[in-house]
Amino acid sequence: MNIDTTKDAAKLEVNGKTLVMDTIRGVENEQAINSLNLRKETGYINLDPGYGNTGSCVSGVTFLDGEKGVIHHRGYELKELAANCNFLEVAYLLMNGELPNTAEYKQWNSQISENSYLGPSLQILLNHYPSRSHPMSVLASVVLSLNGFYGDLGEERFYQLDMDVVRLIAKTPLIAAHDYRRKRGMQYIPSDPTLGYAENFLHSMFGVNLSPERRKIMADSLEKLLIIHADHEQNCSTSTVRMISSSDANVYAAIGGGIGALWGPLHGGANEAVIKMLEYIQMHDGDLASVIKRAKDKNDPFKLMGFGHRVYKTYDPRATIAKSVVDDLLEKLGVDEPLVDTAMELEKIALEDDYFVSRNLYPNVDFYTGIAYKAMGIPKEMFTVMFTMGRMAGWLAHLLEFREDEHRRICRPRQIYAGSPMRDFVPLDKR
Ligand code: SDX
């Protein structure tokens, strides 16, 4: 990978010892200290809860500039990709490093299409989850179970991996769609190979209840939303996928873990929490002030959902794209969604409030996306599933990259122990 190493460029004086370390500069000039020998040479570890100052790898998939609000995938700016590609093209780019040419796209698209089905036993398995199960729990467990259907088929290792990638991209939308339908007593709808990726998901989910005209409008918006969710370098869920992959666990195990991490309301679960927050405001006569007050109250665990980001210290560029998708979608569907006004009002008040401005808290990718999903008739509890459908491409891209990484080793952080010092054992009858 294209990185520059500067020998002995960093010095650490600790406990009378001097450790000289190399520094590394990335393609976009971000820099790191290579602390590979820190513990061996000094006996010290670096303690960084939440890893805000710690790089876990060198990666070529995505670059983020949090200060400038810039994101590019394999060198292509996200807004360019969102404006000119469909999701499968971007998924191909993330995983292969280049945008597909016509022949490559045709083959990739037919691979996905050929695998866009849920066999009878997979449908039976899905139908047996409690109908009250959260869609993310169903998705995570069904993805893990795919190893039972497709794992260790004796296929040559890399063919197996390629096919695991295809199956996950192809089947995730169908698992989500059928989970929605079976909970409402509706039958499985087979894919329509004449439809694009996003449109086929809407077809599998809503069937004849959605007119082809409205489905096409929604699909155009959904393709863009899947693209802006596709990858975001070493976020919590992607790092989880890498962590699980580092033990040589199978693809489905790694992706199942990534789904679990994304589900959290501080991460991908925020889009569901944003809509609940906006609806709460609406139900309380637009009482924005109490929400802002609670978000600023250190004694209140409530956070302003859809606001703030570990990396972006300015407006999340994906939130800008999401807002334009929402405006375009609502206009084309002829939907008047008052939550948009509530969201914009909340954003305006927060961005005039020193608490948020001084902490660089701006809208993130989750702030507007739920409004688009709501307009499509997708239930709140499926919003993070929509995030998962997009992020599947990024997780797989990082998993493939990690598998090829010459420096790959099992991820195993250290710690500082703060428990009881060593003590003698006391038998039960003496305690
Ligand atoms: C995603 O990493 C990624 O790239 C994630 C993601 C992706 O594509 O994978 O971009 C997707 O997860 C977006 C984020 C979605 N989550 C939310 O919208 C939940 C609300 N946001 C916060 O929980 C928070 O902003 C995080 C979790 C997103 C970031 O947390 P950090 O980096 O640990 O920030 P922090 O807690 O260090 O915050 C710094 C200060 C603190 O106050 P002080 O201690 O300085 O007084 O800002 C405050 C925080 O209390 N703060 C907030 C806040 N976010 C941070 N206060 C109120 N509301 C918020 N939303």
Cα 299 to middle of ligand 1, angstroms: 16
Strand partners, 76: 73
From the list 192, 164, 78, 218, the residue with the least C-alpha distance to 392 is 164
Instruction: Verify whether ligand 1 is closer than 6 Å to residue 216 (CB atom).
Output: no
Instruction: Verify whether ligand 1 is closer than 6 Å to residue 304 (CB atom).
Output: yes
Q: What is the pLDDT of residue 157?
A: 67
Cα 98 to middle of ligand 1, angstroms: 32
Residue whose CA is at the smallest distance from ligand 1 atom 33: 310
DSSP 8-state symbol, 194: T
At 14, give phi and psi (nearest 5°): -150, 130
> For the chain, what percent of residues have pLDDT higher than 70?
99
Instruction: Verify whether ligand 1 is closer than 6 Å to residue 232 (CB atom).
Output: yes
Strand partners, 100: none
Instruction: Verify whether ligand 1 is closer than 6 Å to residue 39 (CB atom).
Output: no
Cα 66 to middle of ligand 1, angstroms: 13
DSSP 8-state symbol, 208: G
Q: What is the pLDDT of residue 67?
A: 95
| Positions of E strands within 17-155 | 17-25, 31-33, 62-65, 70-73, 76-77
At 179, give phi and psi (nearest 5°): -60, -40
Q: What is the pLDDT of residue 155?
A: 67
Residues of the chain with pLDDT under 50: none
Q: What is the pLDDT of residue 1?
A: 72
If phi > 0 it is left, if psi is from -120 to 50 it is alpha, else beta; for residue 414 that is beta
Q: What is the pLDDT of residue 2?
A: 81
Q: What is the pLDDT of residue 159?
A: 74
DSSP 8-state symbol, 51: G
Tokens (6 digits) for 275: 């809509």
Residue whose CA is at the smallest distance from ligand 1 atom 2: 235
- Residues 6 or more apart from 6 whose CB is under 8 A from it? 22, 23, 24, 25
What's the CA gap between 143 and 203, in Å, rounded?
Answer: 21
Instruction: Verify whether ligand 1 is closer than 6 Å to residue 118 (CB atom).
Output: no
Residues annotated as catalytic (active site), given as ranges: 309, 366
Find the length of the chain: 431
Cα 230 to middle of ligand 1, angstroms: 20
Confidence (pTM): 0.96
pLDDT single digits (tens) 323-366? 999 999 999 999 999 999 999 999 999 999 999 999 999 999 99
Cα 350 to middle of ligand 1, angstroms: 14
Pocket test for ligand 1, best of 228, 262, 266 (most atoms within 8 A of CB): 266
